Structure 1
Amino acid sequence: MIREGAPESAAGAETARPKLLSGGNPQIPKGDGDAPVQAYIAAMPGWKRGVGRYLDGLIGRVVPDARKAVRWNSPFYGIEDQGWFLSFHCFTRYIKVTFLNGASLSPVPPVDSRHERVRYFHIHEDDEPDEDLLVSWLRQASNMPGEDLFR
């Protein structure tokens, strides 16, 4: 299970916390770069923050040149001038990891989308994600980013 680090001080957390939307998803303004992504992750509630840190760190290790941004209250990761390959979003009981060309990954991530090329992977509180599988998906996905529709 991915665990959260030391809690923030209560005083700082109360004044600096963005609004949480449905399912506990942080409302973070659209922005490019690492700073808005880190603001999103810092605002993720409870156990989800640890998962956000884990995903961001894993992406940084596997795809060190990944471009980062926040769009539609979700962090996005992509390759400059090639488009986005992954995003994630908080829901009440899980974090939805979106592979924008997930139908082309092997093995295909388990959750279908109404979009033909998109596939999802859900991480629940007590899950132990298969890091080798995630690394494989990240390597594959970063080599086939989606259209850059999310400017």
Structure 2
Amino acid sequence: MIKKKVSAKKKAPTKSVAKKSIKAGKPPKKKEPILLSGGNPQIAKGYGDAPVQEYIAALPGWKRDIGRKLDDLIVRTVPYVYKAVKWNSPLYGIEGDGWFLGIHVFNKYVKVAFFRGSHLKPIPPGESKQKEVRYLDIKETDTIDEAQLSSWIKQASDLPGEKI
């Protein structure tokens, strides 16, 4: 049997191969988050400040400003707060003790959920089907009562959190 000698001559890379090798040195571009119903950004589950900031940065228009204000107020009120994004919503809690507050975006408002809100004084205005949960809905034209909200945040952080 006679074997043919294979040529070791290399071909020039095609344009697509050349482009891929140029891009290989750069980090991949991050995709813009998909906005779900109500403008709620689809953010991967993650723990810490980074995913929460990614969530806030992806909020559309006026909702981004409210998200920043809420995050800033929560951090000022509870400097040791633990953050995460789960189920496309930022959660705030005390590490090892559970979550006391969550944020979710809808078409016409930003909903702040106090998981043990029925224990807060005064009780936040929004009722829930869940016995202890209370809500505060913030619309675009609403003025945030920072003193009252800060009081609720502080009270909520002192209660046992939800293990969700």
Query: Hey, what's the Cα distance between the residues in 1 that align with 2:86 and 2:42?
Result: 10
Q: Which runs of 5+ in 2 are unaligned?
A: 1-29
* One-letter amino acid of the counterpart of residue 132, structure 2: R
Deviations 1:6-62 (A, max 9, x none): xxxxxxxxx742000011100001000000000000000000000000000001100
1:77 aligns with 2:92: yes
- Max Rg structure: 2
Structure showing greater relative contact order (alpha-carbon pairs closer than 8 Å, 6 or more residues apart): 1
Deviations 1:69-123 (A, max 9, x none): 0000000000011100001011000000000000000000001001000000000
Q: Which runs of 5+ in 1 are unaligned?
A: 1-14
Q: State the partner residue of 1:58.
A: 73
Query: Hey, what's the Cα distance between the residues in 2 that align with 1:99 and 1:75?
Result: 12
TM-score by length of 2: 0.80
Query: Hey, what's the Cα distance between the residues in 1 that align with 2:150 and 2:54?
Result: 24
Query: Hey, what's the Cα distance between the residues in 1 that align with 2:89 and 2:83?
Result: 11
Q: Percent identity?
A: 59
Off by >3 Å, runs of 4+ in structure 1: none
**Aligned positions of 1:1-150 closer than 5 A:** 16-149=31-164
Tell me: CA distance 1:147–1:26, structure 2 relative to 1, closer, same or farther (3 Å): same
Alpha carbons 2:81, 2:93 under 8 Å: kept: yes
How many correspondences in the alignment? 135
TM-score by length of 1: 0.87
Query: Hey, what's the Cα distance between the residues in 2 that align with 1:50 and 1:80?
Result: 26
